[in-house]
Amino acid sequence: MADAIEVRHLVKRYGNLAAVDDVSFTVRAGTVFSFLGPNGAGKTTTVEILEGLRRATSGEVRALGLDPWTEAAALHRRVGVIPQDFRFFEKITPREAIEYYGSLFGHRPHPDELLARVQLEDKAHSRFDTLSGGQKQKLGLALALTNDPEICFLDEPTTGLDPTARRAIWDVIRSLKSEGRSVFLTTHYLEEAELLADRVAIIHHGRIIAEGTPPEIIAAHGRPERLRFAAAPALADYLRPRLGLAVSAADGRVEVELGAPSDALRVLSAVAASGVPWASFATAQDTLEDVFVRLVGQMDDGTLKAEGTT
């Protein structure tokens, strides 16, 4: 399948600041790609270059095979966009907004269908300024869909929303993918990226510090899987010299890092032989959030060099 988006050595400077600093990635058609990073990482700058709204300083960018800057008109017919902090005229209703958008871009949208898609039918005739944050974002999604787009660019569509509203937006994003559309989703919510994205790029200070599927990133940058016991530190003291595995004790818990899954059996036998009482045990595995926090922390300490994909 063709690639929806291709970015090679993208750089965007604002004066002395390299907001995007040699970024490369590919988004395959029909997949959800999440651009994950803290505030100021360079997410919006990258999205807006892909949308043809800002001009790259250098590097190569293609969306649907088009150059977003020189072929913006052709691109805009085929992509949908929700800008960060999406706003609209206060007095317009969702239904009117969709009709207005359609006329602006020369489409004939079906407002009722679009509002149903984003579960906003009951607000079809409510003024924009009376909508909740989640309802405004749903309207943004409906507007982004008026032209039946091949790529949807969603810049932090769930920031600031309550958990129910976020889940409603997630459902729409899943349906976009099931319809074969490509989705470029920026977020600073780790769990959102982990749940929705086929591939994730973690961006920090304008550089990609990890890229892949969530399990790939966890495998490459996470700590090994661990066995965790609710037990006194005496258990750690017993295990440490006997196992040849990293053992730690804190907060009433003892954790043993497994070199391989088969180590689990050795650990359990040693725990049984120790005679130290324990209350419960569980396996513990790093989440994307654990990895993210560690990578960003290491980069801020200067102990990690950014590994731009080439």
User: Contact residues for ligand ADP (CB under 6 A)?
Assistant: 14, 17, 19, 37, 39-45
290 closest CA partner among 201, 196, 224: 224
CB of 203 to ligand ADP, least distance (A): 7
Q: Smaller CB distance to Mg ion: residue 188 or 242?
A: 188
Name the helix (H) or strand (E) containing 114: helix 111-117
Residue 207: phi and psi, rounded to 5, are -125, 145
Shortest distance (Å) from residue 159 CB to Mg ion:
9
**Region 228-287 residues binding Mg ion, contact defined as CB under 5 A:** none
107-146 positions binding Mg ion, by CB under 5 A: none
Choosing among ligand ADP, Mg ion, none, which partner's interface includes residue 41 (Cβ < 5 to 8 Å by kind)? Answer: ligand ADP
We find the least distance from the C-beta atom of residue 55 to ligand ADP, in angstroms, to be: 11
Contact 43, 37 (CB under 8 A): yes
Please answer whether residues 124 and 99 qualify as being in contact, where contact means their C-beta atoms are separated by less than 8 angstroms. Answer: no
Q: Which residues of 190-207 are buried (b: 16+ CB within 10 A; e: fewer)?
A: bebbbbbbbbbbbbbbbb
Length of the chain: 310
> Using CA atoms, how far apart are residues 201 and 108, in angstroms rounded to an integer?
36
Q: Which does 39 bind (CB under 5 to 8 A by kind): ligand ADP, Mg ion, none?
A: ligand ADP
For the sheet containing 32-36, what is the strand order?
79-82, 151-155, 182-187, 32-36, 199-204, 207-212
Residue 277, contacted partner among ligand ADP, Mg ion, none, CB below 5-8 A by kind: none
- Between residues 44 and 147, which has the closer beta carbon with respect to Mg ion? 44
Asked if 34 touches Mg ion (CB under 5 A), the answer is no
Q: In terms of DSSP bridges, do strands 207-212 and 226-231 run parallel, antiparallel, or are they unpaired?
A: unpaired
Residue with Cβ nearer ligand ADP (47 or 120): 47
Among 34, 44, 137, 182, binds Mg ion (CB under 5 A): 44
CB of 44 to ligand ADP, least distance (A): 3
Nearer to ligand ADP, 155 or 263 (CB): 155
207 binds, among ligand ADP, Mg ion, none (CB under 5 to 8 A by kind): none
Question: Pick from Mg ion, ligand ADP, none: which does 68 bind, CB < 5 to 8 A by kind?
Answer: none
Nearer to ligand ADP, 16 or 178 (CB): 16
Cα–Cα distance, 81 to 187 (Å, whole number): 15
Sort 91 into a burial class: Cβ within 10 Å, 0-12 / 13-18 / 19+: exposed
- Is 45 near Mg ion (CB under 5 A)? no
Q: Compute φ and ψ for 304, nearest 5 degrees.
A: -125, 130
Which residue's beta carbon is nearest to the bound Mg ion? 44
Nearer to ligand ADP, 45 or 158 (CB): 45
Question: Contact residues for Mg ion (CB under 5 A)?
Answer: 43-44, 84
